[in-house]
Amino acid sequence: MSRTNTAPARPRAAAGGGANRWVVLVVLCVSLLLVALDATILHVAVPSLTEDLRPSSTALLWIVDAYPLICASLLILFGTLGDRVGRRRVLLLGYALFGTASAVAALATEPSVLIAARALLGVGGAMIMPATLSILRAVFPDRRERATAIGVWTAVAAVGAATGPVLGGFLVENYWWGSVFLINIPLMALILPLGGRLLPESRGAADGPWDVLGALMAAAGVLGCVLGVKRAGAGDPLLALPTAGPLLLGAALLVLFVRRQKRRPHPLVDTGLFARPAFTTSVGCIVLAMLALVGLELIAVQYLQLV
């Protein structure tokens, strides 16, 4: 790590963490728990939401998928932004946006409003998730403690995704579908001031200019490909312009992003890692497992309620 990265970060990490580093871990894990919950908590609420708002099949898919799609697309952008302007600053802004978007989603009366609110939730989640891990690494300089903290962080993400449908089912059964978003507000209202007081500020190494264009290319490429797939799934012909256009544009942007990263001395993503068979195989297996898990979960919870 460079001198500019470690010199300001470690003293503040010790001051903000130190004996309170495990309290900082709790705050970061609660943040991550909410982000993970929102990826799956809406699945159980889809039937009651559909009955209330009457969205089209395509709109319903966007209601469910806008959050994880936007969040995944912007992780690179906000992860690198936090390295530049300060991870704590980005994290606190993410808290505020996440709480505001949750309130809008809970009170939505039109599918378009709910889709927009879910997209804003995705933006907030993309600001929160990478910052929590980066701050965790700064607060735990000892490698053994850091490994334990990262293990807890990973377990919390898995527990949040698994608990989402259970908690969502309880809320829908006893209240209404909007309550799955309202639970975020008191927790965000609690951890926002706690985070401002306890979390240390840290920055990454400022190696080269910030490749904001590359980050936007990656986000637009993923969105274009998913939009084309959604249109094809809605019954549009694959070769029709509304379907083929976004698919081709998204694929082209992703190819250009990879080529851009290979040429840059300080890339956002080290594409050379994919030349290692062990790394590529591991990533491929995780992607396939998540596709199967999330797809099965979305279909199963609706099937069990409706059939």
Rounded CA separation 247/243 (Å): 7
The tens digit of pLDDT for each residue in 7-34 reads 444 434 333 445 588 888 988 998 888 8
94, burial (CB in 10 Å: exposed 0-12, middle 13-18, buried 19+): buried
Rounded (10°) angle between helices 212-233 and 57-85: 170
In which band, very low, low, confident or very high, does the pLDDT at 4 lie, cut at 50, 70 and 90? Answer: very low
* Tokens read off for 106: 């809970």
Which of 121, 130, 142, 147 shows the shortest CA–CA distance to 87? Answer: 130
The tens digit of pLDDT for each residue in 118-141 reads 999 999 999 998 899 888 888 888
Question: CA angle, 97 as apex, 45 and 22 as ends, to 5°?
Answer: 90
In which band, very low, low, confident or very high, does the pLDDT at 208 lie, cut at 50, 70 and 90? Answer: low
Topology of domain 1-207, CATH: Growth Hormone; Chain: A; (1.20.1250)
Asked if the model's pLDDT at residue 3 lies above 80, the reply is no
Contact between residue 67 and residue 118 where contact means Cβ atoms under 8 Å apart: yes
- Mean pLDDT, rounded, of the chain: 83
Question: CA angle, 77 as apex, 22 and 223 as ends, to 5°?
Answer: 120
For the chain, which residues make up each domain, given as ranges? 1-207
User: Best-predicted range by mean pLDDT among 105-119, 145-159, 161-175, 240-254?
Assistant: 105-119
Q: 């040429």: which residue's tokens?
A: 263
The tens digit of pLDDT for each residue in 182-200 reads 888 988 888 888 888 888 8
In which band, very low, low, confident or very high, does the pLDDT at 1 lie, cut at 50, 70 and 90? Answer: very low
Q: What is the pLDDT of residue 18?
A: 54
